[in-house]
Amino acid sequence: MTSTSLPQWPPNVTDEQRSALTLLATTYALSHGLVYLPPVDVQPPVPASAIHAPLALFPSPFPRNQFELAKGLQRKYNVLYARIAMDEAFLDNVMGAEKGVGRVDEFTGHLWRLWKRLREQGISQSRHLGLFRSDYLLHTANEDAPLELKQVEFNTISSSFGALSQNVAGLHRHLLATTEYFNTSPILRVENLPPNDTISGLAEGLAAAHRAYGSPSAWILFVVQDGERNVFDQRWLEYELLEKHSIRVIRQTFEQLAVSAEVIPTSRILRLRLPGLLPRGAESIEISTVYFRAGYTPKDYPTSGHYETRYLLESSIAIKCPSIQLQLAGGKKVQQVLTNTEVLSHFTSGWSSSDLDPILNSWMGMWGLDEGGEEGVRRARAQPQNLVLKPQREGGGNNVYKSDIPAFLDALPKVEREAWIAMELIRTPEGLGNYLVRAGGGTAGAVKTEVISELGIFGWALFGGPDGAIEEKEVGWLLRTKGKDSNEGGIAAGFSVLDSVVLV
């Protein structure tokens, strides 16, 4: 055991055993849709091949109590972020383009102005759907301190890897069933591999929105990126919706929607015109729910026309997952502002301290760079090695870490400080490794690497309806594992691999 009560990891295997496991793993992945489109510059319009997703050969040890804690917290976070999304004055103050971050962050400002216009026109659909993922790392305050769960961030838009995380949990169960991992570790037992049914859970959230919309023959729209490689993670949800809920899904990019989408003036119904492409010779379909797997980054809006397409979708009575206001609620600035206990208490009326304390304990210290005149920047300069700076962006690759911070602060114009938060770095346990398997890229085969694992818990919430209820659920988990020396953890960006937990 390491000082942090996690076992030495990974277990030792011979080269032969590792090769045997790798063959089983990659073939299982290819057979079970644990796959990506290959990274070629020009994708053929119709893909002819897929590659297995980057994966860890062994599940990674995770303390059972912290895993259960994270799952329990999700129910609270679902409610918390639903309440935040419904608080217009709060979002105006924190994210708005007149009083908040939207003044200095162009992307946030754009989104907020779209939302303001929608409010001026009258919001057509008061319900919102969130498919959330709350991300955590394990933290040790010092070498002898116990492991604690600390939140990295809370995602309210395009939370990905739900489907692939279920498939990788299945992969590790398969390796255990077929090889028992060659008896290399006593903790590798089936009772330590928790179930993960994220696909059905996330699809259930989308189906709940579809039902609330109340037109059974309508379709669900997935708004997707052109050139997306992580399409299978999305396809699994489509198949589940059709097979288990008899709901059909249409995938469209913003570019396609600029042509196909219309909102009927009187009813505000969203329809897509797709002549020649629909069953029974239909010309157009009604959309019940708009699920955004695009639209979370300014890169998805290269022209003002793209923002107008978002506006058009938002102006309909279709239920948005997420609405602009729920997207804004997921801002890093909101996460930071919540650490002010007065702000938090505004959203947690009716909660006891046993509800609240675990939430508070899951947070690292955070502050705004614009706080107290020079104070925010002074505090950051005083301890850059313990910090990460984050702007209002999603999707990885946007943060500034440790020794890069001073020079970054030197160059940052004063007005732009408001767009950034400082967050204490989570001190992850050391001494854990795994065998990471990536397709192609010159590192084919399993490479033993010292690693850090990030747990994500999925949940959904459907809220804003006339009865004021928040319907919500915790629906599964994800483990992403990255090389210890990489600051960031994006799988799509090639830094991390898909993994699952073995509870200890």
Partners of 153 in the β-ladder: 135
Which residues are annotated binding-site positions?
133, 153, 155, 234, 332, 390-399, 401, 423-426, 454, 480, 482, 488
Q: Does 151 bind Mg ion (CB under 5 A)?
A: no
For the chain, helix (H) and strand (E) counts, in that order, are: 15, 21
Binder of residue 390, out of Mg ion, ligand ADP, none (CB less than 5 to 8 A by kind): ligand ADP
Measuring CA to CA, which residue among 241, 297, 310 is closest to residue 270?
A: 310
The least CB distance from residue 335 to Mg ion, in Å, is 10
Q: How many chain residues are in contact with Mg ion, going by CB under 5 A?
A: 3
| Residue 210 three-state SS | helix
Which residues are annotated binding-site positions for ATP?
153, 332, 390-399, 401, 423-426, 454, 482, 488
Which residues are annotated binding-site positions for substrate?
133, 234, 480
Measuring CA to CA, which residue among 463, 125, 120 is closest to residue 263?
A: 125
Binding mask 257-296 for Mg ion (x = CB under 5 A): ----------------------------------------
Binder of residue 139, out of ligand ADP, Mg ion, none (CB less than 5 to 8 A by kind): none
The rounded distance, in Å, linking the Cα atoms of 104 and 414 is 10
Binder of residue 399, out of Mg ion, ligand ADP, none (CB less than 5 to 8 A by kind): ligand ADP
Given the complex with ligand ADP, which of 213 and 477 has the nearer CB atom? Answer: 477
Binder of residue 261, out of ligand ADP, Mg ion, none (CB less than 5 to 8 A by kind): none
N- to C-terminal Cα distance for the chain? 11
Binder of residue 488, out of Mg ion, ligand ADP, none (CB less than 5 to 8 A by kind): ligand ADP
**Residue 145 structure tokens:** 């301190």
Segment contacting Mg ion (CB under 5 A): 102-110, 150-158, 317-325, 401-409? Answer: 150-158
The rounded distance, in Å, linking the Cα atoms of 423 and 233 is 30
Largest distance between two CA atoms of the chain: 69
Which stretches of the chain bind ligand ADP, using CB under 6 A?
A: 135, 137, 152-153, 364, 388, 390, 393-396, 398-399, 423, 425-426, 454, 487-489
Element (H, E) at 480: strand 470-483
Given the complex with ligand ADP, which of 247 and 321 has the nearer CB atom? Answer: 321
Q: Determine the distance from the C-alpha atom of residue 85 to the mean position of all C-alpha atoms in its chain, rounded to a whole number.
A: 17
The least CB distance from residue 73 to ligand ADP, in Å, is 17
Name the phi and psi angles at 243, rounded to 5: -75, -40
Output the 3-class SS for 214-243.
CCCCCEEEEECCCCCCCHHHHHHHHHHHHH
Q: Please list every residue from 169 through 228 that binds Mg ion, using CB under 5 A.
A: none
The least CB distance from residue 288 to ligand ADP, in Å, is 28
**Residue 108 structure tokens:** 């946030």
The least CB distance from residue 112 to Mg ion, in Å, is 18
Partners of 252 in the β-ladder: 223
Which residues are annotated binding-site positions for Mg(2+)?
153, 155, 394
Given the complex with ligand ADP, which of 439 and 492 has the nearer CB atom? Answer: 492
Q: How far is CA 464 from CA 84, 323, 459, 467, 470, in A?
A: 11, 11, 17, 8, 7
Residue nearest ligand ADP (C-beta atom): 489
177 burial type by CB count under 10 A (0-12 exposed, 13-18 middle, 19+ buried): exposed
Given the complex with ligand ADP, which of 426 and 498 has the nearer CB atom? Answer: 426
Given the complex with ligand ADP, which of 305 and 397 has the nearer CB atom? Answer: 397
Partners of 132 in the β-ladder: 459
The least CB distance from residue 485 to ligand ADP, in Å, is 12
The least CB distance from residue 454 to ligand ADP, in Å, is 5
Instruction: Give the amino acid at 457.
Output: I
The least CB distance from residue 153 to Mg ion, in Å, is 5
Q: Does 394 bind Mg ion (CB under 5 A)?
A: yes
Given the complex with ligand ADP, which of 227 and 365 has the nearer CB atom? Answer: 365
Per the document, the length of the chain is 504
DSSP letter at 404 equals G
Q: Does 252 bind Mg ion (CB under 5 A)?
A: no
Q: Does 430 bind Mg ion (CB under 5 A)?
A: no
Which residues are annotated as catalytic? 133, 153, 155, 160, 332, 390, 394-395, 480
Q: Does 155 bind Mg ion (CB under 5 A)?
A: yes
Given the complex with Mg ion, which of 125 and 160 has the nearer CB atom? Answer: 160
Q: Does 488 bind Mg ion (CB under 5 A)?
A: no
Measuring CA to CA, which residue among 161, 132, 144, 139 is closest to residue 36?
A: 161
The least CB distance from residue 359 to ligand ADP, in Å, is 16
The rounded distance, in Å, linking the Cα atoms of 116 and 189 is 53
Name the phi and psi angles at 363, rounded to 5: -105, 140
Given the complex with Mg ion, which of 150 and 271 has the nearer CB atom? Answer: 150
**Residue 129 structure tokens:** 């759907």
Measuring CA to CA, which residue among 196, 197, 176 is closest to residue 186?
A: 176
Contacts with Mg ion by CB under 5 A lie at 153, 155, 394
